Amino acid sequence: MKNFNDKVAAITGAASGIGRALALELAGRGCHLALSDIDPVGLAASAVLAQQRNPGLRISTAQVDTADRAAVYAWADQAAAAHGQIHLIFNNAGVALSTTLEHVKREDFEWLMSINFWGVVWGTQAFLPHLRASGDGHVINLSSLFGLMSLPLNGCYNASKFAVRGYTEADRPPGQDGPQRGADHGA
Ligand SMILES: NC(=O)c1ccc[n+]([C@@H]2O[C@H](COP(=O)([O-])OP(=O)(O)OC[C@H]3O[C@@H](n4cnc5c(N)ncnc54)[C@H](O)[C@@H]3O)[C@@H](O)[C@H]2O)c1
């Protein structure tokens, strides 16, 4: 993709932080936006700021919990219908949890993984058909430095971000990542 002008980007976790910053940056580059978050107030504020940045853009918003697979699929279809096409999905929504591995509660670990890992999986799978249909689609999944190295007291977060990186890097098209090692052992 050479530029973002007149493309359409979907962003999860767009109500604050990196998600909002992405929305504003893309708006400044002429990219139409399908924004989602569980926080409707922050989400509406992001949409207003992006529209102010570029009044000519089409911007849609949807209150979506990325842990809810059905809701993510429904949003992908609604966003594609509203905008005509989707070129980019930024699976950005994420949460943190600081605790020891010994004391972490199962429900807390599952909550984090349902957003940081499974939310990324649902966003990738739900949007891929629309990205392919656009002819110029891209998946951007937010991992972290802690998907490369581990920070003490953040084992659950680290695990989710290592998982996102492993999942995402497997989706490179053949030929863009050097030899496909699994296919040529013995060769
Ligand atoms: N801030 C950093 O330094 C940093 C560094 C590396 C990676 N990241 C990653 O970048 C992403 C964004 O981080 P941030 O710092 O902007 O965080 P943030 O807390 O500012 O924003 C996260 C957004 O996700 C939303 N969200 C939370 N749970 C959700 C759910 N179930 N469904 C939909 N939306 C939900 C929140 O409402 C919030 O708007 C996260 O995945 C985070 O792990 C952040």
| Whole-angstrom distance, CA of residue 93 vs CA of residue 10 | 12
Residues sharing a CB contact under 8 Å with residue 46, sequence separation 6 or more, in sequence order: 14, 15, 16, 19, 20, 23, 24, 35, 37, 61
Domain boundaries, the chain: 8-172
Protein residue closest via CA to atom 42 of ligand 1: 94
Question: Using CA atoms, how far apart are residues 147 and 164, in angstroms rounded to an integer?
Answer: 8
Whether 153 has a pLDDT exceeding 70, the answer reads: yes
What pLDDT shows up at residue 184? 41
Question: In the predicted model, is pLDDT for residue 186 greater than 70?
Answer: no
What mean pLDDT is predicted for residues 19-45? 98
pLDDT at 6 over 80: yes
Tens digits of residue pLDDT in 73-94: 999 999 999 999 999 999 999 9
Contact 56, 6 (CB under 8 A): no
pLDDT at 187: 35
What would the CATH number be for the domain defined by 8-172? 3.40.50.720
Tell me the best of 11, 37, 121 to mutate to test the pocket of ligand 1, counting ligand atoms within 8 Å of each CB and taking the most.
37
Three-state secondary structure readout of 25-86: HHHHCCCEEEEEECCHHHHHHHHHHHHHHCCCCCEEEEECCCCCHHHHHHHHHHHHHHHCCC
> pTM for this one?
0.94
- Region 120-140: mean pLDDT is 97
128 pLDDT exceeds 50?
A: yes
Active site residue ranges: 157
Q: Which residues have a Cβ under 8 Å from the Cβ of 138 and sit 6 or more positions away? A: 1, 87, 88, 89, 131
The per-residue pLDDT of the chain, averaged, comes to 93
pLDDT tens-digit series, residues 44-72: 999 999 999 999 999 999 999 999 999 99
Which ligand 1 atom sits closest to the C-alpha of 161? 43
